[in-house]
Structure 1
Amino acid sequence: MGMQINLSKFLTPQKIKDYISTSPYKPKVITKELYSRDVDTYESAVYPYAEIQEVTGNVPLVLRGGHPVNVAGDSAKYNFIEVQPVDITETLNPVDLVNMKALGDVAVEKIVRQKVQKFHKIVLDTVEALASQTLSGKISYQIKTQAGLDLYEVNFGTVADLSPSTAPANLKDLYNLLVDMEGKLQEKGYGQEVKVYAGKQAYGKILEIAFSYSGKTIKVEEKDGGIYIGNYFIKPITTGYKDKDGNFVRAVPDNKIKMIDKSAPFRLRYLAIDDLRANLKAMPLFVAQKPEGKTIELEGQSKPLPIPVTDAIVDATIV
């Protein structure tokens, strides 16, 4: 007979919130850079196109999986994105079970807290992958369906590309490209707080150009974990995520730079959890004990949706 331990009192919304607030795991690079200013819950399992279009000017396109939901009838256009959940499960190992039985509530809560924080890390990793993908204007990830795995894709719009026909050969070329990229943002109503993110090879090329410059017309200064070219700050980005095949994909391709207006309304929303145990409420992470089974199994769910402003992003290939 399985061990019967009820963990519900350690998995209330407030407890989970407390565990997350003390978690050693924090938002990663792209999430922190672009999606940390406006993080909120959204009390629905679906997200309206109008909320996205109002800010971005684009109607998002669900390409595959997680079919858009039409709540206005078959004759109307699709109006909502059905955000797909991050599902996590873990069975507690025998050592955990022995500790729970022998040491009481203090030990039990410590184990539960560690598991919830582990789930939280997985959610943060997923958010970072999605946030990284939004820099291209599209998110794409695998979801579990009754038929197996499917690819869930949402296209938020096109990111402008100002790649020069010839790669910058000197600082003047590079600086003029940055000015053009900023001008492109301004054409779209952005450009208030620009920052440039550079892939690995692109940043190496920028350093090579900058350090070979002997003039005084354009300021060059390496500090704050990046380099200033005039008034433009360029930050190297080497982080990324693993795709469905296990390949590492960088948030900013090695040969590219991305100029982004950080003041643009990039948003991160956590939608309502499709589970009665969560009271169908929106929250960053819901964790519950599986009701049946010979072992103790925890289930975690989260429905994050990073929403980019594609008009506030401009790409250029410089290598």
Structure 2
Amino acid sequence: MIQLDISRYFTTESIVRALTSMPELKSPVMDSIYTDDKRRNHPLPTVSVSDLQQSVKNIAITKRGGEPVPVYEDSMNITHIEPQPFRPSERLNGVDVNNLKLLDDSGVELLVNNKIDRLRRIVRASTEAMAAQSLKGSIAYPMAIEGCYGTYSVDFGSTLSHSIGTVWSDSGITLDAVLADLIGMEANIQSETHYGSDIRFWAGQDAFMALAKIVQDIGNTSVSGIIDAKTISIAGFKVELMNSSYTDLTTSTQVKVVDTDKIMAFASDAPFEMVYAVIDDLDSNLTAMPFFVKHVKDPRSSTIEIIAESKPLPVPFTKGICWATAI
């Protein structure tokens, strides 16, 4: 029978204190696109599609005393997305529990917090992977079902695309042509939405190397470029190398956020959203939050399981993303 009581380390105050003391987690898609100001808790287990990616544009003025201009659309279709949880767990077996009895309170707290830290890192990495998928307008993420994988799918619609005039690996390519492509991708976004005051460009490895080669051939163009800190600057446009990847759990292979031959432009001021739906756990008081953790004792096996849960839904602003195949 388990004699060790670690419930004091799982009170709201203890969890908040522990998470606050842990190092801030970094990942490129979350930090650049689904930033802190674009993350929100959602009080329901489902998200209404009508609440997502609502258009914001200028409207007609209204005559004094006239009817207001509706900014909603009537529809007979009620469609909802049901976010699914990431639910990793750590286990303390009987030997671990006995070893914990040898530690003082600070030692037990440190060990418990280390377990919590690993779980939050796993949740962050998983959320980053789903966020990376969303940049192509849809999510097709593995869902654990009875020992195998199904697929959790959400389609947000098509992103924008740009046709490269001359591929960047062509021997006759110039920086003038590259600049025209960058301007064209920016124009695509700005013509579809009023967002785009801050357009960023991410390039896959081969596309970035091709662009670097063009920049180094300084005699082929009237436009100059600068290579510095994984960034190539051309006439005020900055193309950043995006070499990050996530693991495809079904094939155990690495998937690039940006394919090696592609370039992606995105409007960083567009309303991308990371929605955290309500946690399906009575111990969480059925509250929406980015990360929840609890412990469960199993007297039959003399184990303590530490379980984390998060229900993120990355919602891309698809008209704020433009893809192109550069080589």
TM-score range, shorter chain: 0.7 to 0.9
Please state if 1:282 is matched with 2:258. no
Q: 2:261 aligns with which of 255, 266, 269?
A: 255
Deviation of the 1:98 alpha carbon: 3.2
Deviation of the 1:224 alpha carbon: 4.5
Q: Secondary structure at the match of 1:164?
A: coil
Q: 2:183 aligns with which of 179, 189, 198?
A: 179
Q: 1:240 aligns with which of 245, 270, 273?
A: 245
Is contact 1:143-1:149 (8 Å) kept?
A: yes
Q: Secondary structure at the match of 2:54?
A: helix
Please state if 1:207 is matched with 2:215. no
Is contact 2:176-2:221 (8 Å) kept?
A: no
Deviation of the 1:81 alpha carbon: 1.0
Is contact 1:270-1:302 (8 Å) kept?
A: yes
Matched to 1:284, the amino acid is P
| Matched residue, 1:296 | 304
| Matched residue, 1:103 | 103
Separation of aligned partners in 2, 1:271 and 1:155: 18
- Single out whichever of 145-154 and 23-32 deviates more from structure 2: 145-154
Separation of aligned partners in 2, 1:279 and 1:213: 63
Question: Structure 2 regions of 5+ residues with no counterpart?
Answer: 58-75
Matched to 1:296, the amino acid is I
| Matched residue, 1:41 | 41
Flag as ranges the 4+ runs of structure 1 deviating above 6 A: none
Separation of aligned partners in 1, 2:126 and 2:92: 23
Separation of aligned partners in 1, 2:106 and 2:180: 62
Distance of aligned partners of 1:4 and 1:50 in 2 relative to their CA distance in 1, 3 Å threshold: farther
Please state if 1:307 is matched with 2:315. yes
Separation of aligned partners in 2, 1:147 and 1:208: 48
Separation of aligned partners in 2, 1:78 and 1:115: 41
Encode CA deviations 1:147-187: one digit per residue, 9 max, x unaligned: 85320011111011213254132211111111111110111
| Matched residue, 2:71 | none
Q: Secondary structure at the match of 1:300?
A: strand
Matched to 1:126, the amino acid is S
Question: Structure 1 regions of 5+ residues with no counterpart?
Answer: 58-75
Is contact 1:99-1:107 (8 Å) kept?
A: no
Task: Output aligned runs, 1:63-212, within 5 Å.
Answer: 77-93=77-93, 96-145=96-145, 148-164=148-164, 166-168=166-168, 169-189=173-193, 190-212=195-217
TM-score, length basis structure 2: 0.86
Encode CA deviations 1:255-289: one digit per residue, 9 max, x unaligned: 00001111111121221110101110111111111
Separation of aligned partners in 1, 2:277 and 2:55: 18
Encode CA deviations 1:53-97: one digit per residue, 9 max, x unaligned: 41599xxxxxxxxxxxxxxxxxx6343211000011111256642
Deviation of the 1:52 alpha carbon: 0.8
Deviation of the 1:25 alpha carbon: 5.2
Count of residue pairs brought into register by the alignment: 301
Distance of aligned partners of 1:94 and 1:230 in 2 relative to their CA distance in 1, 3 Å threshold: farther
Q: Secondary structure at the match of 1:102?
A: coil
Separation of aligned partners in 2, 1:108 and 1:199: 45
Matched to 2:186, the amino acid is E
Is contact 2:174-2:214 (8 Å) kept?
A: yes
Is contact 1:137-1:310 (8 Å) kept?
A: yes
Q: Secondary structure at the match of 1:305?
A: strand
Matched to 1:202, the amino acid is A
